[in-house]
Structure 1
Amino acid sequence: MRSSNLTQVVKQICAIAGDVVTMEIADAVNFLVETCREIQKSQGVLDGEEDLPSETHQSSSGGSLVTSGGDDDVPQLKARIMDATSKLAAALASFLRMYSKAFRVDFFVPPVVDQTQEEMDSRTVRNKMSVKVRGLHRLSGSWRYDQYFVEAQLYHGSRCVGAAEPSDTAKPTVCLSCYSLVPFNARLDIDARVNILPLESRIVLTVFGLRQLPQSDHDAPRYMREEVGWAALQCYSFDRKLCQGSQLLTLWPIESDRRLGAAPHSSDHPHSHSCPLLCVELPEYPGDVLFPEIIPSAPRLLNFADLDVNTQQQLKDIVERDIFTFNRSSVEEREVLWEKRHYLHGEPHALAKVLLA
C-alpha cells in the first residue's frame, strides 16, 4: 500500500500546469499518504519496508489490497482508499478547471454550476459580496519578506467603493517538498451586496509584504510594509453572468495602475507562466446569476452654451487635464463631469474622462 507513485504523478501534473500546487491538492495528498500509512500499520507493514507476505485481494480498479486479517477488513480498507483518492481527484479537477479558466488551454473541464437550474436575477440576490483568498503561489525569487497579507477593494471605474478589507498575515511555506506558497485561507467581506453591484464593478486584491526591521533586545518587533503587486477580477462577465467559484489570478506589478481600465485577464500577462499567482474563491450559487439586461436609451444632445459660465469653465478645466492629474480629481468634480456629460458631445477629448468619472 504505497502512495509515493501517485504523489509523483500529482507533482508531474502540477509541474506541467505552471508549477502550482493548491492547498486543496496538498491537503488531499497528505490525507492519502496518512491513510496509506494507517492501513500499513493496521496490516503489520512497517513504513519504509517491503510489504509483508500475506493474502492479496483484487480491487475493483485492478489494483490489490494487502491484508493480513480476515475478509471483513477488505470493504473498510477499500472505502478508506476510495475516499482518499476521491478527494485527490476532486482537488485536481478543481485545479484544472480553475487553470483552464485563467489560461488558454486545449482541454475543457465541465463547470460546477448546475446548468439545469434556473438563472437568477442579480436584483434578487441580497447576499454580501465576499472573496476567499486561498493562497499566493509562485513567489518571486527576489522577494525577501517575512510575512504577507492581502487587501480586497471594490472598484467601479477608477473609484474605490468602500474601505479596503485586509486579511491576517501569513508566512511562506513549502508544500509537497518543492512548491512554495503563502497560505492565507482568509475570507474577506466586501461592503456591498450582490443586488447593488454595478455591471462594470471589479474586485482588486493588493498583496503586501512585511519585512522585519532591526531592533534592540527589548523593543517590540517592527515591520516595513511594501506593496508587492495586485490582481483584479471583474464581478460580471461580458455576458452579464456573476463570477463564481475558484479563480487563478496573475499578479501585476505596482507600476501598472490598478485604478485604470477593466480587470486584465490572467493570460494577458507577459510572463503568465512564471509570474506569481493568487488563488481566490468567490461564493457559488445553485445556478447562474444574471445582471438584468440594459436597454440603452437614445442619447440626449444638449447644448454646451446653455450652461452657465462658471460650469462651462469648470468642465473645460476638468477635461483639459492629463489623465494622471484627472485621476487625482475630487469626487465632486467627477460627479459634475458625469452629470453634465450630455453637454460634452462637441468635446471628443472629454470621452476618456467621462468614462473614468
Structure 2
Amino acid sequence: MTWCAQLSVRLATLCVAAGAMFATAAQAADPVSINIVDVAGNLQLTQKGFEAFKAKNPTLVSNITFTNAPAPQLPGKIKAMQAAGRSDIDLVLTGTDALAAGIQQGLWVKLLPDNSAAFPGVLDKYAPGPRKMQDLAQGYGLAVTYMPAGPLLEYNPERVTEIPKTPAQLLAWCKSHPNKLIYARPANSGPGRTFLMGLPYILGDKDPMDPVNGWDKTWAFLKELNECIPYYPGGTSAVMKELGEGTRDMTVTVTGWDINPRALGIVPAEFRVQAFENMTWVNDAHYMVIPKGVPKEKLEVLYKLMNFMLEPAQQALTYDDGYFYPGPAVKDVPLSSAPEKSQEVIKKFGRPEYAKLLADRPHVVPLNAAAMVAAFQKWDREIGAQKTK
C-alpha cells in the first residue's frame, strides 16, 4: 500500500471515530422523559414546580409523566422491576411509609453522602423541623414538604357534644356511639399512622420508639377501640368522604387533612378539631427518592430537578390549599410568598389554635424505617386483619 493510501485509511478511521464521538455526545445531550410516581398525594403541592422545571429546561426534559399509586403496593412493584432489570419509574414522591419500606428493602439510590457533590449545601437549606425529618431518610431521599402533623380528632359538632380529650374518653365515646368513628389503615394513611405513632406518647408507654416491645398500652388500647370501629378504609380520602357525608361523626386527623378537605368542600367548613391533652406532635414529611437502576443520563437530570424543587419559588407553591400544612421544608418561605389563592385558603380554613398548640406542645420525628415497618405489620396483623378494606 502506498504512503498516500495509508494516509487515506488513517484519515478515514479518524473521521469515523470522531463521528462516533460526536454522535455519542449528541445522544447524551438529548432531553429525557421522566416518570414520577406519587404515593403520598404530594403532587397537589409539587406538580406545578415539576412542570416549571420542564418549561425552563427543554434541553434537559422532553416530557414528565405523573402517576398516582398506593404506598403499600409500590415497594413490591419496584422490587420486581429491579429484579427484571427494568427501570420504568424515575422518581418517587413518598411519605415516611414507602420511604421506610424502600430503605429496608434496599430499593433507593443513596443520595447523601454518596452524591453530595450534586446537592451542594442542601442540608443547610432546611428549616429546623424538616431538618430532623431529613435525618429519617438516612441519605436515601430529600424532604420536599413538611407538616407538623398530629394526632388530632376531627368531629361533627352537631353530633358530638361530649368532645374526647383523652384516649379513655375517646374509647368511651366510641363504645357509646358504635360505627361512628373510623380511621384509615396506617400503612397508607398519614392521619392513621400519626395516630398510631402518637398514642405511645399520650398513653405513657415504656418506649414510644419501639412498637414491638415498648407499646403495651397502645396495642391494648387499639384492640379495645377496634371493637367499636366498623372497618378501616384503605386511605384517608375515603375516611373524609364518609365524615363529610355524615356516615361517620369522628375520625383522627392531622393539620393538612383538617384544612384541605374543608377547603375543597368534602368536609363541612364548620367541623371542629380537638387535640389530646398532653399530646406530642408527631411530625411528617414527603420525600423525593430515586429507585435503583435509573440510567446515568437521567440521574444527572433528576439531581438538578430535585435541587430546583428546594428553591424558595417552588417551595412557596407547597402551601397549596392547606393539604400538607404548612408545606415548605426549607427556610425563609413565609405564607406571604405563597400564591394569593393559597393565602386566602389558609386564612379562611386554617385554625387560630394551631399556632399555640404548635408552640406549646413538644415535637418528635416518626419511627425510623425498621420500626415503622414493624408497627405497620403488627397493626395489620393484630388490629386491622379482619376489618381493612
Question: By the TM > 0.5 criterion, same fold?
Answer: no
TM-score with structure 1 length normalisation?
A: 0.22
Q: Is the strand fraction higher in 1 or 2?
A: 1
More helix by share: 2
Q: Which has the higher contact order (CA 8 A, sep 6+)?
A: 2
Normalised by the size of structure 2, how large is the TM-score? Answer: 0.21
